[in-house]
Amino acid sequence: MSTLVSRTRARAVETLSLDATATRNALSAALVDALSGALADCAEDPGVRAVVLTHTGTTFCAGADLRDPPPLSASPERGDPRPPNTLVGLLRQIVELPKPVVARVTGHVRGGGLGLLAACDITAAATTATFAFTEVRIGVAPAVISLPVMPRADPRALARYYLTGERFGPAEAVRLGLLTAAADDVDEALAPVLDGLRRSSPQALAETKRLLTARVLETFDREAAALTALSARLFSSPEAREGMTAFLERRDAAWVV
């Protein structure tokens, strides 16, 4: 079992912890593959009633790993395997999982990490957590992660944070619709949630989740191909190369005024 995602279980709730602290749990090809495999196991295991997605270290997820990014989508002409071992596939896998996925956040969330958060069904964060859509700072757009984000977040507020890359806190994340709850003690806040899930029938949870995610999945069906193409085009652009180099070198990009 990969150490990139550690697993524990308590009373039918499987906790999956992103455990790549050296890269601040950035979404590398290996981490996406490991998380996808763990979620697939949970989907097939009748002993799992719900999944908690959390993290080790001070960052829930720093976004895409710029040194080892996951594929955005499968390329059949190259013989690539079918998603969910791609970013689009992973996000859809969380949305489609027949069991509730609860995000537990006690650290920072950036870029693609907000895609993970939006794909989850219930989300809670500690009041010390911070959030930012940082894509515009490196010359790209929050394209693929918009598949779960835009159907669930307030569009006017989202415009500000998409366009500026500003950081915002948990209270604002609740207002945007990205978080269900923010609390000083996130485990205390989640205790009644997990108790409720344990008291609910597996069949009822699966069908109720299907009702709740129908519009999100419609967005995947309608827009995934176009947003994947947009992301690929931007990541291969000269501005993105400059933005990513500047980020890795810890300097301002050339366009900063």
Does residue 25 lie in a domain region?
Answer: yes
Please state, in angstroms and rounded to a whole number, the distance separating the CA atoms of residues 17 and 24: 12
**Contact (CB, 8 A) for 50 and 67:** no
CATH classification at residue 107: 3.90.226.10
Does residue 238 lie in a domain region?
Answer: no
Alpha-carbon distances of 239 from 135, 140, 252, rounded to whole Å: 12, 8, 13
Residue numbers of the domain that contains 106: 5-184
Residue the block writes with tokens 């009633």: 49
Cβ–Cβ contacts within 10 Å for residue 193, how many?
19
b/e 75-88 (16+ beta carbons within 10 angstroms → b): eeeeeeeebbbbbb
Does residue 222 lie in a domain region?
Answer: no
Does residue 212 lie in a domain region?
Answer: no
Does residue 12 lie in a domain region?
Answer: yes
Does residue 82 lie in a domain region?
Answer: yes
At residue 73, the pLDDT reads 61
**Contact (CB, 8 A) for 5 and 38:** yes
Does residue 219 lie in a domain region?
Answer: no
At residue 69, the pLDDT reads 86
Please state, in angstroms and rounded to a whole number, the distance separating the CA atoms of residues 129 and 114: 12
Does residue 193 lie in a domain region?
Answer: no
How many independent structural domains does the chain possess? 1
**Contact (CB, 8 A) for 68 and 30:** yes
**Contact (CB, 8 A) for 120 and 181:** no
**Strand 50-55 versus strand 101-105 pairing type:** parallel
pLDDT string in tens for the chain (257-residue length): 458 999 999 999 999 999 999 999 999 999 999 999 999 999 999 999 999 999 999 999 999 998 888 886 655 444 444 444 789 999 999 999 999 999 999 999 999 999 999 999 999 999 999 999 999 999 999 999 999 999 999 999 999 999 999 999 999 999 999 999 999 999 999 999 999 999 999 999 999 999 999 999 999 999 999 999 999 999 999 999 999 999 999 999 999 99
